[in-house]
Amino acid sequence: MSDQNAQVSVVGAGLAGLVAAYTLQRAGATVTVYESSDVPGGRLKSRSIDGQTFQPMSQTLPSTAPALSRLLREIGAIDKLRRTPLREVHLFENGKNRTIALAGKAYLRGMGRTRWSRPPRLRRVRDIIEWLAERVGRDTPAETTRLDDRSVADFTRLYLGNRAHQSIIAPLLDAEFALDSYDTSRLTLTVLMNPWAEPEISRLNDASFLIDALADSCADLRVNRKITRLDEIDTPIRILAVPATDVAGWVDLSPREEEFFKTTSYARELTLVLKTDGTGESTQTDAWIPPRQGGSLRRIAAIAPNILLLSARLRWGIEHWEDEDAQLTHSLLNHAELVRPGLRDTLHATEILRLEQTVPRFDVGHYRRLATMHRDDRPRAANRGVFFAGDYLVGPHIEGAIVSGMQAARDALMRLGVKPGATSAPIGGS
């Protein structure tokens, strides 16, 4: 198929772009996907250490991940999603390993019985829960941005107190979602947690099956094809599923869009990959050493029986980004040894990974800017025939990437005058 015949072009074969292409194809559109790298997957691309492949992500998903569940059901792979409620985090403090229970509802009930029993405090907690319970929809973030858009840290300290911040929210965001509670908008919490239930966190052991299935379903996927100007593609409808930082300069942006893309940035992550002899490494340890204890480590994740990822605490990683690999390895291993004594003796290979782009930062104000841009520039964007997709538009995670890909496909189909809905057979299913 030539570029001229394609009705829709998708630039970027990360999860968002592949989902957009999949959704468009199921509705009968002809799609060409352009990917600059030699393989699809984007940030979910696999890596290898000592001959063994692994995915460098920490595999945590928000408690409710309906789009991912639906997609996995469609492609016949729902059994690969393991939902593990996160009930505790191990905190290493003052030379001791302590376990913190992270049961959301129970914690709040407990607060009601003890120092939170005074009615005004309880009312506040109830109000907070009501805010948190509201999902932030892509089309309606403005309505849910009631009052202010404080950082998570300010927000929880003000309404739930310092103790709740220190013992639940900060470790949870830092260890599980790689988000710093000082920099992150509190609205992110609404998409990450369901406060009516226990904070159920899902783990996806390896997302490569999802990428492979979506890529296989692409009728026309062109790898090693970096797009540098929009006029290289002459289809009337184009979906840009590249990171926000790559969009500026491509399209004629409105001032609001320009402001949004300029202020969208990504978190960096420093990770030590360990190949071990595999004994007893099949479980996940959420070990968090607080900054005041000088902790370099935020998480030990077993992603395969013999592969461990030691993720650095976010701020520590940024401060030590330029350090020698040997120095970083030494520090992270020292802290991991506090939680897992004898780890060093089981090692076969180590590698420091410096990931420049992990998750988009949902800093304070991000949702507000997104809402304004979406409300005011939507008709203009539709006329332009260029739609955006990527996790930075919905939420800093896989679910966000999937939802944004589906939404961009729906917008493109509307522009083409095609009714969204499956017309062709789903992949992998009958």
Q: Please spell the DSSP secondary structure of 323-344, one letter per residue.
A: S-HHHHHHHHHHHHHHHSTTGG
Residue among 42, 104, 141, 195 that touches ligand FAD (CB under 6 A): 42
Q: What minimum distance in Å lies between the beta carbon of 90 and ligand FAD?
A: 18
Q: What minimum distance in Å lies between the beta carbon of 96 and ligand FAD?
A: 28
DSSP for residue 421: S
Beta carbon nearer to ligand FAD, 156 or 358:
358
Q: What minimum distance in Å lies between the beta carbon of 95 and ligand FAD?
A: 29
Beta carbon nearer to ligand FAD, 128 or 360:
360
Using CB positions, name the residue nearest to ligand FAD: 14
| CB-CB neighbours of 261 under 10 Å | 21
Question: Is residue 3 a contact partner of residue 375, using CB atoms and an 8 Å limit?
Answer: no
Window 12-31: contact mask with ligand FAD (x via CB under 6 A): xxxxxx--------------
Name the strand (E) or helix (H) holding 108: helix 104-113
How far, in Å, CA of 99 to CA of 90, rounded?
5
How far, in Å, CA of 307 to CA of 42, rounded?
21
Q: Which of residues 48-107 bind ligand FAD (CB under 6 A)?
A: 56-61
51 token code pair: 């001959």
Q: What minimum distance in Å lies between the beta carbon of 291 and ligand FAD?
A: 20
Beta carbon nearer to ligand FAD, 111 or 393:
393
CA of residue 179 relative to chain centroid, distance:
10
Beta carbon nearer to ligand FAD, 43 or 157:
43
> Residue 355 pairs with which residues in a beta bridge?
269
Q: Which of residues 332-391 bind ligand FAD (CB under 6 A)?
A: 355, 358-359, 390-391
**Contact residues for 135 (Cβ-Cβ < 8 A; gap 6+):** 144, 190, 191
Beta carbon nearer to ligand FAD, 61 or 406:
61
- Please report, for the chain, how many H helices and E strands are present, in that order: 17, 17
Could you tell me how many residues of this chain bind ligand FAD (CB under 6 A)?
36
Half-sphere exposure in the Cβ direction for 53 (13 Å, CA): 8
Q: What minimum distance in Å lies between the beta carbon of 210 and ligand FAD?
A: 10
Q: What minimum distance in Å lies between the beta carbon of 222 and ligand FAD?
A: 9
DSSP for residue 430: -
Segment interacting with ligand FAD, rule: CB under 6 A, options 36-44, 282-290, 335-343, 364-372: 36-44
Q: What minimum distance in Å lies between the beta carbon of 214 and ligand FAD?
A: 11
Instruction: Assign 396 to helix, strand or coil.
Output: coil
Segment interacting with ligand FAD, rule: CB under 6 A, options 163-171, 315-323, 392-400, 417-425: 392-400
| CB-CB neighbours of 37 under 10 Å | 15
Half-sphere exposure in the Cβ direction for 76 (13 Å, CA): 7
Beta carbon nearer to ligand FAD, 61 or 160:
61
Q: Which of residues 230-249 bind ligand FAD (CB under 6 A)?
A: 241-243, 246
Q: Please spell the DSSP secondary structure of 163-214, one letter per residue.
A: HHIIIIIHHIIIIIH---TTTBBTHHHHHH--TTS--EEEE-S-THHHHHHH
Q: What minimum distance in Å lies between the beta carbon of 353 and ligand FAD?
A: 8
> Binding to ligand FAD by residue 298, rule CB under 6 A?
no
Q: What minimum distance in Å lies between the beta carbon of 13 and ligand FAD?
A: 5
How far, in Å, CA of 185 to CA of 392, rounded?
13
| CB-CB neighbours of 74 under 10 Å | 17
Q: What minimum distance in Å lies between the beta carbon of 127 and ligand FAD?
A: 29
Segment interacting with ligand FAD, rule: CB under 6 A, options 70-78, 136-144, 290-298, 396-404: 396-404
Beta carbon nearer to ligand FAD, 207 or 364:
207
Residue among 30, 36, 208, 285 that touches ligand FAD (CB under 6 A): 36
The position carrying tokens 């907070």 is 128
How far, in Å, CA of 427 to CA of 177, rounded?
30
How far, in Å, CA of 183 to CA of 173, rounded?
11
Beta carbon nearer to ligand FAD, 164 or 403:
403
How far, in Å, CA of 22 to CA of 213, rounded?
10
Beta carbon nearer to ligand FAD, 67 or 364:
67
Residue among 397, 403, 411, 413 that touches ligand FAD (CB under 6 A): 397
Q: Which residues bind ligand FAD (CB under 6 A)?
A: 11-17, 34-37, 42-44, 56-61, 226-227, 241-243, 246, 269, 355, 358-359, 390-391, 397-398, 400-401
